[in-house]
């Protein structure tokens, strides 16, 4: 598998022309986090590889596609006008800041490391502001709600999703993908808590392919494998 094919699902339509044509020129965001707050964090691809790190929320259209893909808005046609206005300025920047604040808090939890007090306080302030704008949607069980009526509501809605993740989910199940470059976070909902990859078909498959290639190289170098009498010899 080439790097272009490996990266196509990360939101790079130029690397996957067929997928881009099928989706109007864009690859649909992949939601693997198990919670919308984690899917927000994962709008940055290849976080751990400075050479490939890519922000998926680059502009109004990218934000719109992501919001629609989560189900928070019905479809791009209905939501295009308000969301496009939002992403032109402060709203998109607020969402990016929330995303990075959530990531700095959540990644240490996923790795079993201590969290920084400054990161806790940053998220605490954001949640406090969001709750001040929320209304009580139900009493039993108690539920805070914010109606998504326009672009200005997006940061508040997403901040409440971060709060719900922290308040109600079992964060002992929070994981970081085992690929050394990926950096995506997810909730491991498997019965035996054995999930390792963001996607077994993506990072997991790439790891298996790398191991297979290394085995072939080792066999060829030692003269034990089928490549020893073919291409491996020609490389010398």
Q: Could you read off the pLDDT of 15-63 as tens digits, one per residue?
A: 333 443 344 445 567 899 999 999 999 999 999 999 999 999 998 788 8
Winning range, highest mean pLDDT, from 21-30, 64-73, 100-109 = 100-109
Is 11 or 147 the better-scoring residue by pLDDT?
Answer: 147
Per-residue pLDDT of 191-226, as tens digits, reads 999 999 998 766 866 555 555 445 555 555 566 554
Report percent pLDDT > 90 for the chain.
Answer: 55
Mean pLDDT of 116-144: 95
Question: What is residue 61's predicted lDDT score, i.e. its pLDDT?
Answer: 81
Report all structural domains of the chain as residue ranges with CATH numbers, in order of start. 1-30 (no CATH), 31-197 (1.10.3300.10), 200-236 (no CATH)
Q: What is the 3-state secondary structure (H, E, C) of the chain?
A: CCHHHHHHHHCCHHHCHHHHHHCCCCCCCCCCCCCHHHHHHCCEECCCCCCCCEECCCCHHHHHHHHHHHCCCCCHHHHHHHHHHHHCCHHHHHHHHHHHHHHHHHHHHHHCCCCCHHHHHHHHHHHHHHHHHCEEEECCCCEEECCCCCHHHHHHHHHHHHHHHHHHCCHHHEEECCCCCCCCEEECCCCCCCCCCCCCCCHHHHHHHHHHHHHHHHHHHHCCCHHHHCHHHHCC
Question: What is residue 16's predicted lDDT score, i.e. its pLDDT?
Answer: 39
């Amino acid at each position: 598998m080439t790097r272009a094919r490996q990266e196509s699902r990360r939101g790079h339509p130029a690397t996957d022309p067929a997928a881009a044509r099928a989706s109007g020129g864009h690859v649909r965001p992949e939601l693997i986090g198990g919670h919308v707050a984690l899917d927000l964090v994962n709008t940055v691809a290849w976080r751990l590889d400075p050479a490939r790190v890519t922000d998926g929320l680059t502009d109004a259209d990218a934000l719109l596609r992501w919001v629609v893909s989560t189900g928070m808005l019905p479809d791009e046609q209905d939501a295009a006008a308000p969301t496009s206005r939002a992403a032109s300025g402060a709203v998109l920047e607020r969402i990016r800041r929330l995303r990075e604040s959530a990531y700095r808090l959540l990644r240490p939890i996923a790795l079993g490391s201590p969290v920084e007090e400054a990161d806790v306080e940053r998220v605490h302030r954001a949640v406090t502001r969001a709750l001040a704008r929320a209304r009580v949607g139900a009493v039993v069980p108690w539920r805070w709600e914010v109606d998504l009526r326009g672009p200005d509501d997006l940061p508040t809605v997403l901040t409440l999703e971060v709060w719900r993740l922290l308040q109600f989910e079992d964060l002992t199940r929070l994981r970081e993908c085992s690929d050394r470059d990926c950096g995506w976070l997810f909730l491991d909902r498997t019965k035996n808590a054995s999930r390792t990859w963001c996607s077994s078909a993506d990072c997991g498959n790439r790891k298996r392919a790398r191991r297979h290639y290394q085995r072939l190289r080792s066999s060829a170098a030692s003269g034990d494998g089928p490549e020893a009498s073919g291409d491996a010899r020609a490389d010398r």
